[in-house]
Structure 1
């Protein structure tokens, strides 16, 4: 695994996969590779199912009613997923930390990556730094990695669409 769980990579991968769930093992593998994951074995149907379970659990964390509930849900994910941290090095990637047992299939790796990465993201940036897009008709989950911590939309496209909607609402004569 080449992603740095201290940064935004892991939580952004979770948001990306949650916004458009992979429909096949090939798609899951391609999207994980594109995000920088080193795949150590072929991706199986079990991996796709486990990734879906990881995304379901992660979206529960996103939708938590408050900080305490968010922490409890994330702690459940961490308890299920994480092992003691260990230093490891893949050929050509250098030394880094893994928070999982060795020889785990991709679905389990993703569960752990989402749990640990999200925990680092929330602990480091703030417990409010997960959300759903505020654009009407869009409920895409996102990880707020903005400088200000006030992200309201999943993408610039949704932000622009909402700005146009608000402008038209103000410009329409009553």
Structure 2
């Protein structure tokens, strides 16, 4: 059962922060505003530094060298984001669960939704569903949303570039 109806979008957002680091507070506000979180939680200067810390923690989760290590890091993130779940219809989108207290800063909201989204995605589909692009010159982080769970590249562009390279080398 998927309880967080927007977890894919949240995981894409934190991965975007990983691959294209935040420039400033306006950048944070703009990127969050383009997601399901919108502008419901105002971003303050402290949120930028805390979001960068979240991204550093996320990067360690992506780069974990074993499932156990990934789980330990993710459990640490979940512990930092501890709040009791609550049912809400704050935006008239239908009743759904939130995993954060009301009135908390944007960085705390991001920490909570990223932690829960990652925990749901990885426990439902497999701990291997995070990675780095297999193209040597890219190495962007990605979350594997593929049906088969065998994603190796961050994008089709990188997959095609590597396929062309392998084809040319075989000639």
Match of 1:89 in 2: 89
Match of 2:37 in 1: 37
Whether the 8 Å contact between 1:50 and 1:111 is mirrored in structure 2 is no
Match of 2:19 in 1: 19
RMSD between aligned alpha carbons? 1.7
Which residues in structure 2 correspond to 1:1-174 (within 5 Å)?
4=4, 7-171=7-171
Structure 2: segments with no counterpart, 5+ residues: none
Counterparts in 2 of 1:110 and 1:5: CA distance versus 1, 3 Å: farther
1:104-126 superposed Cα distances (whole Å, 9 cap, x missing partner): 11111111111111000000110
Whether the 8 Å contact between 1:24 and 1:48 is mirrored in structure 2 is yes
TM-score by length of 2: 0.92
Alpha-carbon separation, structure 1, partners of 2:35 and 2:163: 30
- How many residues matched? 169
Alpha-carbon separation, structure 2, partners of 1:49 and 1:93: 31
Structure 1: segments with no counterpart, 5+ residues: none
Runs of 4+ in 1 over 4 A off after TM superposition: none
Whether the 8 Å contact between 1:39 and 1:106 is mirrored in structure 2 is no
